[in-house]
Structure 1
Amino acid sequence: MFLSCGSTRAAGVAILFMENTVNNILQCYTDNKGHCVSVTFSAFSQHFQLTNIHAPNVEKDRCAFFRSLDALCSDGAIIVGDFNVWRSRLDAPVGQFGWDGSRTVLEELLSNRDMSEIWRDLNFGVREVSRRQLVLNSLTQSRLDFVIAKRALSSLFHGVHYKFIGFSDHAALKFNLAAIAHIRTGGNGVLIPPY
Structure 2
Amino acid sequence: MLLLHSLNVNGLRTCGRMKNILSNPACDVLCLQETRWDEDSLKAATKINKGEIYYNNGTNKSCGIATIINTNMIENSKLIYKDNEGRILIIDIIVNNSTFRIINVYASNCEKERKEMFNKIGRWVNNKTLIVGDFNTVLTKSDISVNNVYKNDSSRTALYELMNN
Q: TM-score, normalised by structure 2?
A: 0.63
C-alpha distance in 2, partners of 1:21/1:35?
26
Pick from 56, 77, 87 the counterpart of residue 129 of structure 2. 77
If asked which structure has higher relative contact order (CA below 8 Å, sep 6+), I would say: 1
Whole-Å Cα distance in 1 between the matches of residues 145 and 160 of structure 2? Answer: 20
How many residue pairs match? The answer is 112
Compare the two structures and name the one with the higher strand fraction: 1
Alpha-carbon displacement from aligned partner over 1:45-99 (angstroms, at most 9, x marks no partner): 2110011110011001111000011012112100100000011001112693111
Cα distance in 1 for partners of 2:149, 2:129 equals 31
- What is the CA-CA distance between 1:27 and the residue it aligns to? 4.3
Give the Å deviation of 1:33: 1.2
**1:4 is matched by which residue type in structure 2?**
N
Between structures 1 and 2, the one with greater helix share? 2
Shift of 1:19: 3.2
SS at match of 1:106: helix
From 141, 144, 154, the counterpart of 1:101: 154
The answer to whether the aligner puts 1:90 opposite 2:138 as a matched pair is: no
Which residue is 1:165 aligned to? Answer: none
For residue 18 of structure 1, the aligned residue among 34, 51, 70 is 70
Aligned-residue identity in percent: 29
* Cα RMSD, aligned residues only: 1.6
Q: What is the CA–CA distance in structure 1 between the aligned matches of 2:78 and 2:63, rounded to whole Å?
A: 25
Structure 2: 5+ residue runs without aligned partners? 1-52
In structure 1, the partner of 2:163 is 110
Instruction: Say if 2:99 and 2:128, in contact at 8 Å, map to a contact too.
Output: yes
1:101 partner letter: S
1:5 has 2:48 as partner: no
